[in-house]
Amino acid sequence: MTNISNILLSLLVSLISLGSFISEDCSGNNEKIILIVNKDSKRIDVYDRNGSTSVWVSFGSPNLRANLFHIPPEVNHWEYSHEKVEVGHLDLAKSQVLFAENLDFMDWGDLEQLGKKQKIYMILYEDYMSKERFVWNKKFTAYEVWVTADGPI
Amino acid sequence: MGIEEKSRKVKSGPTTLEDCGFLQMMGYDLECVIDLFEIKKDSTFIGTTADCIYEKLKSIDGFKDLASGFEGLGTEFDVILKIGATQNASANGQAWWRGSNQPIEITFNEIKMNRSALEVARTIVHEMVHAELYRAINTTNPTEKELDFRETFNTYVMMYRGSADQQHNLMADEWVTKMGEILKDVHQMLDSDGYNTFKNVYYPNGIPDHFYKSVAWDGLQGTIAWNLMKNITTTPPIKSPLEIITQDIDNVKRGRKNCL
Ligand SMILES: [Zn+2]
């Protein structure tokens, strides 16, 4: 397969996965869940604090919110040591790529549960949509994150 | 009435003093002790981290006050603590008023228990306030204080007619400070090493009172008091109340999960 058709294939797979529901990886082929996080979205706030990154997603109701955070090993946190990995087009093609701003609260609830069993990553929108995105060997930076979704209590 | 064997807690066993006395008569080596807390634990709750956190809360004065309406012999209402599925799958917990002759059921959402210990403590306190509000509204023997409270509550019912959030509005106005104080008192007791490492990383100058109050605010978003607070703006570098709360809630999520 040529490079071009590889890229087209990966884009096609990414596009197909955009609107799809989140599924559990039962195949054991290390399929990753990758969230594309757009800092400029009205529903999304990104904070960099204490050497880690925190993302808040809001919904129509004030009692619903999702949070994800990335705490790198340098922080020496007692609970979390999240990895940062480089992923290429082929990795993306094998992953479930989801746009954070398109997910509803129930999707985040599912992600919270899936996150107990498999790793979830975040790629920043500006990286994902950068000019070099069509360069075949472009690497995107994926940050492992911990996801929670909080409803009313 | 909770009956405990003196030396160990029993998951199941005699549930009334009469039953216990009967078993004694039958020759069982059992000491019947009345547990003054009329807050019962379901078997799903016993021995969990939430149970450990609840036991620590019981020694805090503010929590004792909160629970006192359910304390003592022959209290009108019982509370039962459970861990399982909540009606709303996304809720951290729920307090369910099932009618006058039924215990108030507090269920902590099983799939949401993997939170920091202080968040679980917050959920326990929050649900206990709901239980206390149900009790004070429904008691047939109201004290003067409870009658006063009913008047206040009725105003809330009037003000928030049609909204299911009367209790949350009342909580936001009257309880947030007390809830914050309880959380402050219990934090160090949950895991003292964990407390120290948390403090050193997130609040090296000492954990401020606003941290605990912020934690208590979680779950009360959307109330009138919250909306008023949310709209307060400040000039940087001074942080707005909403920024402070968001940061505090961010931090509590990273806290230790242990209860030792
Ligand atoms: Zn509530």
Q: Is B91's CB within 8 Å of A106's CB?
A: no
| Domain co-membership, B62 together with B103 | yes
Cβ-based contacts of A61 with chain B (< 8 Å): 222
| Domain co-membership, B149 together with B52 | yes
- Check whether B201 has a pLDDT greater than 80: yes
Query: Rounded to 5 degrees, what are φ and ψ at A29?
Result: -95, 25
| Domain co-membership, B104 together with B5 | no
| Domain co-membership, B75 together with B43 | yes
| Domain co-membership, B60 together with B147 | yes
Q: How many structural domains comprise chain B?
A: 2
Q: Is residue B46 situated within a structural domain?
A: yes
Per-residue pLDDT of A76-121, as tens digits, reads: 999 999 999 999 999 999 999 999 999 999 999 999 999 999 999 9
Q: Is B256's CB within 8 Å of A79's CB?
A: yes
pLDDT at B128: 93
Spacing, Cα B91 to ligand 1 middle (Å): 9
pLDDT at A20: 44
**Residue A32 DSSP code:** P
| Domain co-membership, B69 together with B82 | yes
C-beta of residue B78 within 8 angstroms of C-beta of residue B38: yes
Q: Is A61's CB within 8 Å of B222's CB?
A: yes
Q: Kind of pairing, strands B33-35 and B2-4?
A: antiparallel
pLDDT at B185: 97
Q: Is B254's CB within 8 Å of A65's CB?
A: no
DSSP character string of B200-258: HHH-TT---HHHHHHHHHTT-TTSHHHHHHHT----TTSPPHHHHHHHHHHHHTTS---
- Stretch (H or E) spanning A149: strand A140-150
Q: Is residue B243 situated within a structural domain?
A: no
Give the confidence band of B231 by pLDDT, cuts at 50, 70, 90: very high
CA-nearest of B233, B231, B121, B136 to B186 is B121
Q: Is residue B4 situated within a structural domain?
A: yes
Per-residue pLDDT of A33-66, as tens digits, reads: 999 999 999 999 999 988 899 999 999 888 899 9
A153: nearest CB among B123, B194, B226: B123
Q: How many CB pairs under 8 A join A and B?
A: 66
| Better pLDDT: B38 or A30 | B38
| Domain co-membership, B44 together with B73 | yes
Could you tell me the residue range of the domain that residue B85 belongs to? 39-115+127-157
Spacing, Cα A108 to ligand 1 middle (Å): 21
Q: Which amino acid is at B57?
A: L
Spacing, Cα B165 to ligand 1 middle (Å): 8
Q: Is residue B103 situated within a structural domain?
A: yes
Q: Is residue B181 situated within a structural domain?
A: no
| Domain co-membership, B85 together with B146 | yes
- Which alpha helices (H) appear in chain A, and where do they start and end? 3-18, 89-94, 105-114, 125-128
> Alpha-carbon distance B15 to B35, whole Å?
11
Q: Is residue B221 situated within a structural domain?
A: no
| Domain co-membership, B65 together with B134 | yes
